[in-house]
Structure 1
Amino acid sequence: MPSSMGSSSLPVSTTIILFALLCGFSCSEYIYPDFTASNIQFVDKSGAFLFSKNGTFKAAIYNPGNRKNYYLCVIHAASNALIWSANRDNPVSNYGKMVLTLSGITISDEYGNPQWSTPPLHSSVSALFLTEMGNLVLLGQNNISLWDSFHYPTDTIVIGQKLPVGALLVSSVSDYDLSTANYSLSVTTSDAVLRWDGSTYWKLSTDLNSFRNSNYAVEYLAMNRTGLFLFARNGSVVVIQVKLSESDFQTAKLDVSGRFMVRSYSGMGSKREFSGPDDKCGIPFICGRVGLCTDSDAASTSGPICSCPAAFHADPQNTNSCIPSDASLSLPVACSSTVVINGSSVNTQNETYLGLPPGSDYFTNVFMDPVRYGINLSSCKDLCSQNLFLPGNLL
């Protein structure tokens, strides 16, 4: 190799040898029925049993942290970014198995009990294929796609993947527990929307980094090397866009905190390109029940500052939640006693009300008008009591 290539460059033959050593001379972007994989079986490759053609992505029975839970995952090899998981709500142990048969993929626990499987297919499976975009594809005769992971996203999409209207990204409980949590991102015919337990707390159209180009009905959300887009008319029209720094690999992920994050990856590590909402205190439940949130530095990668209102203190079991300072009081999930008011059974107990500091706000007020404006404290107490005690109403 000529010296002008630089001392950090490797000859092509050396690169091939290193890749072969990494894969144990067994790498292939295809596997065939009947194939079985477990983490313990491929422990020398950290559970990886299938690699895309150039080794960009790998499929593995993977443990994301120091836990006992293992998942069938697709992982970006260079960054170790997890882009898809199958059995996120039904993890297995390192002895759990992924089995590829003519009927599809099944993940079973160490006792052989099925925990997850692909849906019924129209024809028999010929192979499982991992593409260079990170798509895990079940192929039938003549290489026809029968099922693929891009159509069943978890919390992440990558370049080349579409999130159509009606589809969801759902956050994980934590970086180590991939179970579905309460934050979701959905694509509507006019926007991309973040929700928590059904309440909207962010829209792409209202983000200061987004630009609206047209008013056509949105069909899907997607990324390329330079931007995040909502597309219409079969991808020929951009409805809303966010410009990004050019990068060969990027992920758009709804992270565990409830923020929709776009990150780019390079040899220097990862870089945050975009996040919504930018205000961390715009995320519901970020400071737990009745916690107060202060976002002192929106550009910081650290979390917001959480505090408790007067007469409350941090819960020693969960520092992001607040409990009454008076141990005789509690915050029950539901009121404990039942009385009959105007012929209806309602829950009731002695309630007290606490004024919040000036400038306090509630995340949902951005998208929903308050029931009343300009009322005094006494009227506010009466209104809260009525809402609390009417069956089917929320506080």
Structure 2
Amino acid sequence: MPQMASSFVFLLATFLTWSFSVNAQPYDYPLATAPTTWINSPSLPHTVSSSDGSTVRSLALRLNPGGYGPSFATGFYCFSPCKIFFFSVFIVGANSGGGIVYNPPAQVIWSANRAHSVSENATLQLTSHSGLTLRDNDGTLVWSTDVTNRSVAGFNVTETGNLVLFDINNSSIWQSFDHPTDTLVLGQKLAQGMRLTASINSTNWTESRLYLTLLANGLYALVYSNPPQTYFQHAISANNTGNKSAYIEFTNGSVVLISNSPENIFTMPEAVSVQFMRLEWDGHLRLYDFIQSSWKAVDDLLNVYPDNCAYPTVCGDYGICSYKQYCSCPPGNYFTPVDSRQGNLGCKLLTPISCTEKNNHNLITLNDTTYFNYIDSSSITGIDMESCKQLCLRNCTCKGAFFHYGANSSSGSCYLQSEVFSLENNQPELTHYNASAYLKVQLTPSPPPYNSSRKGKTWSGALLGITLGGAVVVLGIIVSFIMWLRRGREEQEEDGIDQLPGMPTRFTFKELQVATENFARKLGEGGFGTVFEGHSGDERIAVKRLENIRHGKKDFLAEVETIGSIHHINLVRLIGFCADKMNRLLVYEYMCNGSLDKWIYCSEERAPLNWSARYKIITDIAKGLCYLHEECRQKILHLDIKPANILLDERFNAKISDFGLSKLIDRDKSRVMVGMQGTPGYLAPEWQTSIITEKVDVYSFGVVVMEILCGRRNLDYSQKEENLHLIKLMEEKSKSNQLLDLIDKTLADVEFYEEEIMNVLKLAMWCLQWDCTRRPSMLSVVKVLERAMEVEPSLDYNFVYSIPMIMTNSIGQVDQSAPLLASVLSGPR
């Protein structure tokens, strides 16, 4: 009873506080209670436009303890001209009456939806069962808090700028400090594994590739690649951390790395008013203070060198930065500016590097050029320069070799980079390293020389020519007759093909013949056709030719209708199509690193993917599926998620392809009936009933994640019988607490990433639940991968129920012509 009484008093006080704040506009209004709904519109009671044209629509304000000045608030924020909005926590100026003032402009310190802005009339809801939920004006779910099995009473903006969801006992359930974006405020900690991720620029809040993170052995600033490249590090001795997890704390006058050693304290200017530090788009970690009515940068913790050329994105990819930040492209005819009017956007290869053309790879030398990344521990030491260059040429993923000379000029350290960011012109007054730089380029093969010497025809050759000519004439007559009979059906079949909405570019068959040099270079093949390499102008393309025309028409229309109307960074872009007579072709963007299966199954031709690359690929696949399931007008089920349908670009960004089996489901329907289709080994159990939901894609995703983690196929007939089925093996290992035994042996530093690997493995197991209702949505999967929520703790570890005989043919493969048993869905049941 005393607890109930105190809870009632607390809720009553909270309610009165909120009611008073809305109606009477008191000195501050930091609390909100559930349930409450806000509509993002100018009619919100605390809307103010700042001097820089930005606008804040405050929903809660924690007034500065002094009664006025810089204060923390939460609500909607937009840049000028205010067409897109973000739900954020920001620092605003306030007067003694609790009103937000015009100047200085608001400074955003946290944003919920930086990757997905919302429009006017977006809705923010605070409910007891979901916490905070943000939806755009069309009802699309944009963001929500993870408060599983907790009841939310309300939220509070604290005096330090932390947005906290609390329960009826005033206990914290969720807080923004656990999910930092690019900024830390006084009193905030950055725990081990957390990241600050910079925005692309000052007005585009999409996450860039620059991030700051704290690992067990130190503080690192990196640019994401495969593997990430370090441009700043401050090591922490393991002896200094003891048994505690590492973290840094931003205090007044210092940034402290948990340690007993004075070298792990960064001293900074003490706060004049309110301070925050932000990892900015250029790679600097700047400290800002509110001084004389304006925000001023007073320190830079990542001030690596006096010149700004030492930062990885200052001149974009491949850009060479000269003193005072003049940007240029590498010499020669291999590179061109991304934008000739904006040199800082970097350069691109005129001919992208393809792993299928290793014989045409070459290295060009950059004189007097250095690189920022000479501090990584992953360098190869005690090697000569020529050996370093040969290592890069033999490794397809290597895009540049950087050799740092040691004390002995004949040997040094070799740095092989899978991506090349900004380089630096090694001016004499700014010499940092005695080094050499080499960039990989792809030479265009010359056509075979024309042989002008011709032998005279012999009588036997002439006779052969006459015979063949006659045969061709007869064959031509037969073919013409057949084509005449089918012409009516072909023309009827073409009716309405141009009426498809949102149609990409239409090509003629002749145009694609020319583009592919008469389909000369095959990239791969699948169940519905063969893919060829080609060129459309200066753009490299992949042309998929559907070979089974009767079956191909249905799949062709499905792909054109589906992919032509959707656009996402993790879906392969459909450039155009061809519907010329009976020819059915699809034109896609070219993905130079091919399909994922060529990278995750052991291959001597390719270096194994490291953990950061695998994690990024898993996240990319999840985001692509989440878009299909959650963000399209109709829910799209892919139905054939497997490594062969995941393609990788030059930066190893993963994109989902091949929508030949996809199905559309109206938003008001939860399931669809479909005949069994897809690929054995990736099919969910419910395919046996033919009544499916989007959770079949979730299951297939779980299988793909396991294959990425383990470096092998789910159904691998090269294994011993007891190890043939990966999911069955996973069940056995989970019950004996030996799951780490499954992880790919070529994956280096497993111990370093063990906690993160185990979390992803458990996520895969969540996706592989036999009961489809117990599997997560792809939105939840993305949240887990972005560290915004945890894996469901109570999982069913019975993935396999019986083990009937798998039908195989004489060479030990699944017999595709025989009826599918339940055992061939994802393996033994």
Q: Please state which band the TM-score falls in when normalised by the shorter chain.
A: 0.7 to 0.9
| Aligned partner of residue 320 in structure 1, secondary structure | helix
**Residue number in structure 1 paired with 2:47:** 44
Q: Give the Cα separation in 2 of the matches to 1:177 and 1:155.
A: 13
Deviation track 1:271-305 (CA, whole Å, cap 9, x = no partner) reads 23123143333322331221112354xxxxxxx33
- What is the one-letter code of the residue matched to 2:326? I
- What is the one-letter code of the residue matched to 2:47? D
> Given that residues 230 and 239 in structure 1 are in contact (C-alpha distance below 8 angstroms), is that contact kept between their aligned partners in structure 2?
no
1:183, CA displacement in angstroms? 1.4
Whether 2:274 is the aligned partner of 1:246: answer no
Higher relative contact order (CA 8 A, sep 6+): 1
**Residue number in structure 2 paired with 1:271:** 297
Give the 5 Å matches for 1:170-189: 170-189=197-216
Whether 2:365 is the aligned partner of 1:355: answer yes
**Residue number in structure 1 paired with 2:322:** 294
**Residue number in structure 1 paired with 2:584:** none
Give the 5 Å matches for 1:1-395: 25=26, 27-40=28-41, 41-42=43-44, 44-45=47-48, 46-54=56-64, 56-66=71-81, 68-78=83-93, 79=104, 80-103=106-129, 104-197=131-224, 198-205=227-234, 215-217=240-242, 219-232=246-259, 240-247=264-271, 248-269=273-294, 270-279=296-305, 280-296=308-324, 304-311=325-332, 312=335, 314=337, 315-316=339-340, 318-323=342-347, 330-332=350-352, 334-335=353-354, 346-348=356-358, 350-358=360-368, 360-367=369-376, 368-370=378-380, 373-376=383-386, 382-388=390-396, 390-392=605-607
Structure with the higher strand share, 1 or 2: 1
RMSD over aligned Cα, in angstroms?
3.2
> Given that residues 63 and 70 in structure 1 are in contact (C-alpha distance below 8 angstroms), is that contact kept between their aligned partners in structure 2?
yes
> Given that residues 185 and 277 in structure 2 are in contact (C-alpha distance below 8 angstroms), is that contact kept between their aligned partners in structure 1?
yes
> Given that residues 52 and 132 in structure 1 are in contact (C-alpha distance below 8 angstroms), is that contact kept between their aligned partners in structure 2?
yes
- What is the one-letter code of the residue matched to 1:354? I
1:66, CA displacement in angstroms? 3.6
Structure whose CA Rg is larger:
2
Q: Give the Cα separation in 1 of the matches to 2:220 and 2:108.
A: 23
| Aligned partner of residue 47 in structure 1, secondary structure | strand
Structure with the higher helix share, 1 or 2: 2
Q: Give the Cα separation in 1 of the matches to 2:252 and 2:326.
A: 34
Q: Give the Cα separation in 2 of the matches to 1:240 and 1:86.
A: 31
**Structure 2 spans left out of the alignment, 5+ residues:** 1-20, 49-55, 94-103, 398-604, 610-649, 651-829
Q: Give the Cα separation in 1 of the matches to 2:343 and 2:231.
A: 26
| Aligned partner of residue 299 in structure 2, secondary structure | strand
Instruction: Please say which of residues 259-268 and 100-109 is displaced more in the overlay.
Output: 259-268
Instruction: Please say which of residues 278-287 and 365-374 is displaced more in the overlay.
Output: 365-374
1:323, CA displacement in angstroms? 4.6
1:97, CA displacement in angstroms? 1.5
1:373, CA displacement in angstroms? 4.2
**What TM-score comes out, normalization by structure 2 length?**
0.38
**What TM-score comes out, normalization by structure 1 length?**
0.77
Q: Give the Cα separation in 1 of the matches to 2:160 and 2:215.
A: 25
> Given that residues 84 and 155 in structure 1 are in contact (C-alpha distance below 8 angstroms), is that contact kept between their aligned partners in structure 2?
yes
Q: Give the Cα separation in 2 of the matches to 1:285 and 1:53.
A: 38
CA, structure 1 residues 295+254, in 2 after alignment: closer, same or farther (shift >3 Å)? farther
- What is the one-letter code of the residue matched to 1:196? V
CA, structure 1 residues 124+295, in 2 after alignment: closer, same or farther (shift >3 Å)? farther
Q: Give the Cα separation in 2 of the matches to 1:250 and 1:370.
A: 42
> Given that residues 212 and 220 in structure 2 are in contact (C-alpha distance below 8 angstroms), is that contact kept between their aligned partners in structure 1?
yes
Q: Give the Cα separation in 2 of the matches to 1:322 and 1:170.
A: 21
CA, structure 1 residues 295+140, in 2 after alignment: closer, same or farther (shift >3 Å)? farther
Q: Give the Cα separation in 2 of the matches to 1:36 and 1:26.
A: 22
Alignment size in residue pairs: 344
1:59, CA displacement in angstroms? 0.7
> Given that residues 193 and 200 in structure 1 are in contact (C-alpha distance below 8 angstroms), is that contact kept between their aligned partners in structure 2?
no
> Given that residues 265 and 271 in structure 1 are in contact (C-alpha distance below 8 angstroms), is that contact kept between their aligned partners in structure 2?
no
Percent identity over paired residues: 25
Q: Give the Cα separation in 2 of the matches to 1:253 and 1:331.
A: 37
| Aligned partner of residue 309 in structure 2, secondary structure | helix
Deviation track 1:15-52 (CA, whole Å, cap 9, x = no partner) reads xxxxx9xx955841111122222331427333112101
Q: Give the Cα separation in 2 of the matches to 1:237 and 1:372.
A: 33
CA, structure 1 residues 124+383, in 2 after alignment: closer, same or farther (shift >3 Å)? closer
1:121, CA displacement in angstroms? 4.0
Deviation track 1:85-137 (CA, whole Å, cap 9, x = no partner) reads 01112211122121111120000000222110000244322121111110111
- What is the one-letter code of the residue matched to 1:309? P
CA, structure 1 residues 242+364, in 2 after alignment: closer, same or farther (shift >3 Å)? same
> Given that residues 319 and 347 in structure 2 are in contact (C-alpha distance below 8 angstroms), is that contact kept between their aligned partners in structure 1?
no
Q: Give the Cα separation in 2 of the matches to 1:216 and 1:109.
A: 45
Instruction: Please say which of residues 71-80 and 270-279 is displaced more in the overlay.
Output: 270-279
Deviation track 1:333-388 (CA, whole Å, cap 9, x = no partner) reads x42xx7xxxxxxx3346345422122x22222222435674435xx6654432123
Q: Give the Cα separation in 2 of the matches to 1:289 and 1:30.
A: 46
1:251, CA displacement in angstroms? 1.4
- What is the one-letter code of the residue matched to 1:363? F
CA, structure 1 residues 141+259, in 2 after alignment: closer, same or farther (shift >3 Å)? same
Q: Give the Cα separation in 2 of the matches to 1:313 and 1:90.
A: 31
